[in-house]
Amino acid sequence: MLQAPHLIEQHADELDDVPYIWPVDPRDGDRSLVGLPPHHIVIREGLVDDSSIEHSVRIGHSAQWQALASPDPTDQPSAPSIGEGRVGGLADGLCSACGWRLHRVLELGTFPGVDDGTVPAQIVACPNMPCMWTGQFFSHADDAPVSMPRVNYFPDAGMPVPDPVPDLPATFHPTRPRWHVQDWGLGGNLNRVGGVGSWVQDMIYPTCPTCAQTMPIAAQFGAFTPFEGSYGWERWTEGIIYAFWCRDCRISAVTSQQT
Ligand SMILES: [Zn+2]
Ligand SMILES: [Zn+2]
């Protein structure tokens, strides 16, 4: 029920008193699966476009889009913003596996965890299908993340290069307790920094290629975030994009899951 607050609307205020906090303690000496508490990424401009909703209904995502088109409290969280960044746009550099130009998923800007290395300053990815399905690693030793060498598990299907997701300002807000865990299938704002993942399939955390420790989630992005006048991340996946971070090695990973 914590994952479906609209079903228990009359008890919403009481739920904020529930001390439902995902454990952040190390797991028998191994690194915690939670790198930082969850925050919502709120995009106030350039969202929701009726024509793209219609198009998506035609290609069979009606349930997701109807849910996203309705107002949801997770899109306007009550906690004040703790920082500002940007989503979308292109990034510097090329994918090491397929050669495509990298896209910027999130610039964390003034998010407080950037300065101490709790989160990366920027999350980038290659939207090509075999790269999204294999999983990607990036070194953040320098300013711009660099795609680390890898071999894709899946062949290149010749997918067209998607337009970049619109470059838009975003703000970061601590998530209220009842949304510390959010289900993928119930709509709402699934764009988050920190916390635990909204898993479409099994809970899968990558292992850092340098130190071999588990990489906690840095952020996640809902594929059906309805960007106005443009396709968004639904050209990358039909589920969720997950970004992970090893703060010791300054390496990020990007994976995706869908049905
Ligand atoms: Zn690629
Ligand atoms: Zn590492």
Residue 140, Cα to own-chain centre: how many angstroms?
18
Tokens of 128: 């090509």
Confirm if 96 and 150 have CB atoms less than 8 A apart: yes
Residue 70: strand, helix, or coil:
coil
Q: State the ligand closest to the CA atom of 124.
A: 1
At 216, the pLDDT band (50, 70, 90 cuts) reads very high
Tokens of 46: 């350039």
Q: How far is the CA of 99 from the centre of ligand 1 (A)?
A: 6
Using the 8-state DSSP alphabet, how is residue 166 labeled?
A: P
Q: Which amino acid is at 147?
A: S
Q: How far is the CA of 98 from the centre of ligand 1 (A)?
A: 4
The span from the CA of 37 to the CA of 179, in Å, is 11
pLDDT at residue 24, rounded to an integer: 55
State phi, psi for 83 to the nearest 5 degrees.
Answer: 180, 165
pLDDT at residue 5, rounded to an integer: 52
Q: How far is the CA of 148 from the centre of ligand 2 (A)?
A: 13
Q: State the ligand closest to the CA atom of 97.
A: 1
Q: State the ligand closest to the CA atom of 247.
A: 2
Residue 40, Cα to own-chain centre: how many angstroms?
10
pLDDT at residue 59, rounded to an integer: 47
pTM exceeds 0.85 for this model: yes
Of 250 and 73, the structure prediction assigns the larger pLDDT to: 250
- Please measure the distance between the N-terminal and C-terminal CA atoms of the chain and give it in whole angstroms: 22
Using the 8-state DSSP alphabet, how is residue 147 labeled?
A: E
Summarised one tens digit per residue, pLDDT across range 143-183 is 899 999 999 988 998 989 999 999 999 999 998 877 888 88
Q: State the ligand closest to the CA atom of 236.
A: 1
Q: How far is the CA of 244 from the centre of ligand 1 (A)?
A: 17
pLDDT at residue 245, rounded to an integer: 97
Residues near ligand 2 ion, CB 5 Å cutoff: 208, 210-211, 246, 248-249
Q: How far is the CA of 214 from the centre of ligand 2 (A)?
A: 8
Summarised one tens digit per residue, pLDDT across range 78-122 is 789 999 999 999 999 999 999 999 999 999 999 999 999 999 999
Summarised one tens digit per residue, pLDDT across range 6-63 is 666 666 666 666 555 555 555 677 888 889 999 999 998 888 655 554 444 444 454 5
Q: How far is the CA of 89 from the centre of ligand 2 (A)?
A: 27
Q: How far is the CA of 134 from the centre of ligand 1 (A)?
A: 10
Burial 81-104 (b: 16+ CB within 10 A, else e): eebebbbbeebeeebbbbebebbb
Q: How far is the CA of 158 from the centre of ligand 2 (A)?
A: 33
Across 178-203, average pLDDT:
88
Of 47-51, 125-129, 130-134, 190-194, the poorest mean pLDDT is in 47-51
Domain boundaries, the chain: 31-257
Q: Which amino acid is at 72?
A: D
The span from the CA of 28 to the CA of 26, in Å, is 6
